[in-house]
Amino acid sequence: MYKNVIPPGGNASTSGSVRQGTITNKIKAIVYDLDGTLLDTESLSTEAIQAVVGAYGKTFTWETKKKILGMRGEEWGRVVVDDLGLSDQIEPMMLVKQWERELEVVTPTVQLLPGAREIIQFFDSKGLPQAIATSSSALLVAHKRRHHEAHVFGRMRTIVTGDDPKIVRGKPAPDIYQEAARRLGVAPEECLVFEDALSGVLSGKAAGMFVVAIPDPRLDVACFQAHAHQVLKSLDSFDPRSWGWVEDNITFSTIQ
């Protein structure tokens, strides 16, 4: 069900391993999504949204949740309000602001996802600059980085947030990944992206980047296989050798 890297010149239905050096020589920078990719925030985010809509007697379901994965607040707020029939009770951005306040309370409990620390350390060891391109606001990122500065945020060359004035369109548009590449001083086609949301995968792909997807297991993996260069069950199942890197410093769960 999960596949290896699409060879250069292949298409989304063709799986296989990359011959060593064919792609690694092209990759000069790494860009990560944040929530659901590096940080285990999705369940906390869901609880925070439920706390807000629950006050209006509504239930935030998975059917609505999967529609908004990867979106910026200004975009997903409208979806939630429309889906739950709240348009006459609360404005989308007011809902988002209340959600942010709820989320700030639980931010200190946010944990790194398995493999996040190791993969960042691995690419550090390869001398590759790294960045985060997240739909989260700068305010929420500031709260999150207090607790993971050493192993995540402090190792990033730049962090692009969804409310950055230069990001006119949110994911799945390529704007945020193009801006990350610009700040890193590399071409988009020289970047490798790690994403958990389909909108983010499409964003990275539209920017011309290589994309590794780590989708929620409840989502249709086939949708990710149609667009990503590689689909993984989890970040700690990333095997650098499948991309041609010789693993020599970091132990990933797939390497014996």
Q: Which residue has the tokens 């739909």?
A: 135
Given 33, 175, 196, 236, which residue is catalytic?
A: 33
* Residue 35 known to be catalytic: yes
How many whole angstroms separate alpha carbon 24 and alpha carbon 29?
10
* Residue 248 known to be catalytic: no
Given 35, 175, 196, 236, which residue is catalytic?
A: 35
- Please give the positions annotated as active site: 33, 35
